Structure 1
Amino acid sequence: MRVVSLVPSLTEAVARTLPGVLAGATDWCTRPTDLDVPRIGGTKNPDVPAIVALRPDLVVANEEENRAPDLAALRAAGTEVLLTEVRTLPQAVTELDRVLRACGAPSRPRWLDEAEAAWTALAAPARRVRAVVPVWRRPWMVVGRDTFAGDLLARLGVDNVYADHAERYPRVPLGELDAVDKDVVVLPDEPYRFTAADGPEAFTAPSALVSGRHLTWYGPSLGRAPEVLGRALREPVRRGDG
C-alpha cells in the first residue's frame, strides 16, 4: 500500500499506525519529526503531477484543509482520493478509523481508543467561560461556527463567542474582538504563531496561549489534548506579562 497524505493530522496518524505506508506528504506535515518521505507542496497548493508520479494507491485529504480543484485533478489523473470531514470530536474518531482501515490497518489502533477514552473521561467543567479564538492576524480572523477546534473547546468549558457566526472563520476587526463580551482570548500557536509577545498585547482580557496542534490536529495528539489544553486555559496571561 502506498499512501500520500495532504493533511498533517492524517500524516501523523498513518505514520504512527502503519509505518512505511506513506509515500508522500505535504511541507506542513511536521509529525512525526523524523518522517522521511517526498514532499509534494502545501495543503492548499500541492504539486499534483508530483503526487501522480509517486503512483499512490490512495491520497487522503480533508474538505477544509485541501482545495476541491486539486482533488478533482488527482481523480482525473486516475488517483483514488479519500476525502474526510472533521468538525467534531466524534467525527474525528470515525474518520480516523475510516482512513486507517483504508490504508490497511486491520483494526482500530490502540492510540485512537485511548484518545477517545481521554475525552470521554473528561469531567464536566466547574464553570464555563466565554472566549474569542483568533487564528490569524493582519487581518484578524477567528474560529466561527461548526469547527473542530470549537467543539474541543466547548468540551473543556469554553464557549466560543462567534460559534453562531454565518462564517466558519470570519474576519473581525480588532476593535470588535477586544470590545465583545468575553472572559478570555484563546490564542493557538498555529496557523498563526501567537506568542506572549505577539497577541496578548492586543486585548484587555486575559489570553490563554495554547498548543495549536492539540487544538486543531485530530491525530495521535488527541490523547493528550484535554490535559495540555486544560492546563493552558488555567494559566492565562495579561497584556504586558511578556
Structure 2
Amino acid sequence: MKVVSLVPSITEALFDLGLTENEVVGRTKFCIHPEEKVKNVTVIGGTKNINIDKIKALQPDLILANKEENIKEQVEALMDEFKVIVTNVETIEDNYYLLKSLGKTFNKEEKAQLFNLKIYEVLHQAKITSPIKVAYLIWKNPYMTIGSDTFIHKILAEIGFENIFKDKTRYPEIQTEDLAEADIIMLSSEPFPFKEKHIEELKEFYPDKKIMIVDGEAFSWYGTHIAKCENYFKELLLEIDAYQNS
C-alpha cells in the first residue's frame, strides 16, 4: 500500500510501526522523524500548502491528513480522487484510537498496542506531586497560548500542571501581563522557535518566575512520539523540582 502522510507526527508513527520508504511515498517538509528514513521520501509541500499535482503523480492508495494541521479545502480536493483519512487528536484517548486504527489499517496491531502501553507508562511515571500553575506559549508577536481543547493541554494536565488559560479554547492571543498567575512559563520549541533571548525578554517583566524552553514535540506530537519521551519528562520534572526546592 502506497501512503502519503500530510502530518509530521503520523509520518513518524508509520515508520515506528514498521512501514518502509516503499510504502510511505510522500510527506510534508515538516515530517522530520525518523531522519534516516524520511530523507528518502518525496516532499509534497508543507502541512498548510500541499502540492496536489505532486501527490497525484505519486498515485497513493491512501492519504493521511489531520483536521487541525491541514487546510480543509486542500484535503477535500484530494478526496475527489483518493482515499483520504482525516484524523482529529485532542485527547490521550484519541491518540490511543489513532494508533489502534493505524495498526489495523497496516496490519501492525501488535506494535501499535506496544506503543500505546508505553505511552500510558511514560505519562503515568511523569507525575508531579502537587499542581503547578503554568502558561505554555506557542507563538510570539503576538504571544499565543493553548486552551483546554488541545492535545498539549491534555498532556500538561496528565502530568499535573494546571494551565492558567484552561478557560480558553484553541490557541488564544494573550498579553505579557496575562502571565502573572503562572508559577512557570513554558516556551515551546515549536511552532515558534523560542530561544534563550526570549526568556530574557520575559524576565524583564517577571524576574522571579521560572521561565524555560520546553520540547514542543514532547507535548504536541501525538502518535508514537510520547513513547520516546520518558527521559525527557524525567529531566524536565527534576529541573522543576529543583526550582521549587531552591
Tell me which residue corresponds to 2:23: 21
Matched, 1:95 2:98: yes
Matched, 1:50 2:51: no
- Which residue of the other structure, out of 121, 125, 141, is the alignment partner of 1:122? 125
Matched, 1:192 2:196: no
SS in 2 for 1:59: strand
- Amino acid of the structure 1 residue aligned with 2:45: G
Computed over aligned residues only, the root mean square deviation of the Cα atoms, in angstroms, reads: 2.1
Q: Where does 1:72-151 land on structure 2 (aligned, <5 Å)?
A: 72-76=76-80, 78-109=81-112, 111-119=114-122, 121-122=124-125, 124-151=127-154
2:102, 2:85 → 1: CA distance? 8
Q: Is the 8 A contact 1:3 1:60 kept in 2?
A: yes
Q: Is the 8 A contact 1:208 1:235 kept in 2?
A: no
| Range that drifts further, 201-210 or 80-89 | 201-210
Tell me which residue corresponds to 1:38: 42
Tell me which residue corresponds to 1:220: 224
Q: Is the 8 A contact 1:14 1:21 kept in 2?
A: no
User: 1:225 deviation in Å?
Assistant: 2.8
SS in 2 for 1:192: coil
User: 1:97 deviation in Å?
Assistant: 1.9
Matched, 1:9 2:41: no
| Range that drifts further, 208-217 or 54-63 | 208-217
SS in 1 for 2:197: coil
Q: Is the 8 A contact 1:146 1:168 kept in 2?
A: yes
- Unaligned 5+ residue runs, structure 1? none
| Range that drifts further, 140-149 or 226-235 | 226-235
The 1:79–1:170 alpha-carbon spacing in structure 2 relative to 1, beyond 3 Å, is same
Identity of matched residues, %: 31
C-alpha deviations, 1:164-205, integer Å up to 9, x for none?
A: 11x31001122323x3x1110111211111122223531412
C-alpha deviations, 1:91-111, integer Å up to 9, x for none?
A: 112112212322343544364
SS in 1 for 2:173: coil
- Unaligned 5+ residue runs, structure 2? none
The structure with the greater share of residues assigned to helix is 2
Normalised TM-score (structure 1) = 0.88
1:59, 1:104 → 2: CA distance? 17
User: 1:116 deviation in Å?
Assistant: 3.0
The 1:158–1:11 alpha-carbon spacing in structure 2 relative to 1, beyond 3 Å, is same
- Amino acid of the structure 2 residue aligned with 1:2: K
The 1:161–1:230 alpha-carbon spacing in structure 2 relative to 1, beyond 3 Å, is farther
